[in-house]
Structure 1
């Protein structure tokens, strides 16, 4: 039977007066779930172009990569992820009843629980069929900056555990070189007792403005889900052109737990665009464009 209209996931904005629809998608063969094209599903309009772009990217990625045969699914973090869960819920209880969902942090755990999906842990399921996650910025080679939400340690574990790792983002995250759009710097999770020395070493590596990330509604620094501090380390563009080398240099610093540079990992990145289209960039260099100009 066709999938029902998407149910708004927790945190999704209230609909307003803008409506976007996706183009026809490949139909999944009949079985436990028969999927209809996204263009035939009523999509609630969202408050802003950015939110619409996030939803379009997330829906397209789910329809392309979260298939009925996938039983262990990683759910990432960030503002685009509620739309990922929304679309998975829309696939229906019959297909989801045999699935387990692995979160990258508190936010994704809450989304899974509130959507009445089965919660699991990477300890139980060290091999994941597909993980869908967000990103703070993506370069032309699909290298990513992640960690704006201080979840990059768990995000990287689930990315490496997945047979397929997919990124969803809006057009603002699409860049040729990392650091051009995301100015805050590379997120570096560190052991609390070592942060001063790590700060000193990061500045020696070239990040003169590396700083401890401070909380906004709490006195003191941000503390990750793992009980660690986070340093934001901006580097010059010349160093950011080779993020894999930079990743290795930062990771080797004693006291560093994980680095928010994800290199040579993504199979594809889906960008929702301002005009209601979606661009998919693949690890082998080719791109696909989904035009959403059609109307119901």
Structure 2
């Protein structure tokens, strides 16, 4: 029972870590201080939980827990989180904190879900199964964010056309103004990209655990990374180049077609993504 409760807390730590990375990404793109502060406190909670687990492990083994691969991975993650908190608190180098915690999240997920560290085979299988559920859930949530972003882009182009043609009426009034439609489409992509990135990290871990002959050139794997790449390019152009308006809305609609191709076509061609087929 104790092991089960510790497992649940472990999984909660991974989820809190994922939320912290997501918020740090939002701050990275938007200079959102509120998101940064929330991410900091979530990361602080993660650090407290990690420290408690580290102390329990030291008490259980009677030594400093770094002698095995899995203990080393855990301690490495703890060091990353500790340094991230210190950098965020005292040096204010926020972007380094974001990229460091992307690495830290991957290592912690690897440590949490790899079955070899668990004494119980049943517990290991359950963790691997839950890893798959988290991976799929995060992927679908990211796809949902991209989908609503696509809808905002459609509304933007409809509103743009109505204004261009000077068709004033109830339909025009019921649609939000162009700036808000453009901004909401962008924000949803800001949420979707890091969520998809974290989902792919967990998916890769699951695939290496469960699939004997896992290949990177599987259609769904390549397609998912393609989706991540093209939406990352969108964010780069939107933030780095300052591109807004009709052009970026049209581009966003084209990116959604890439997502649909990946979801339906590449999913059916995949050797192991049977739940998407």
Q: TM-score range by the shorter chain?
A: under 0.3
Which structure dedicates a bigger proportion of its chain to strand?
Answer: 1
TM-score (norm 1): 0.26
| Rg comparison, structure with higher value | 2
Output the TM-score relative to the length of structure 2: 0.27
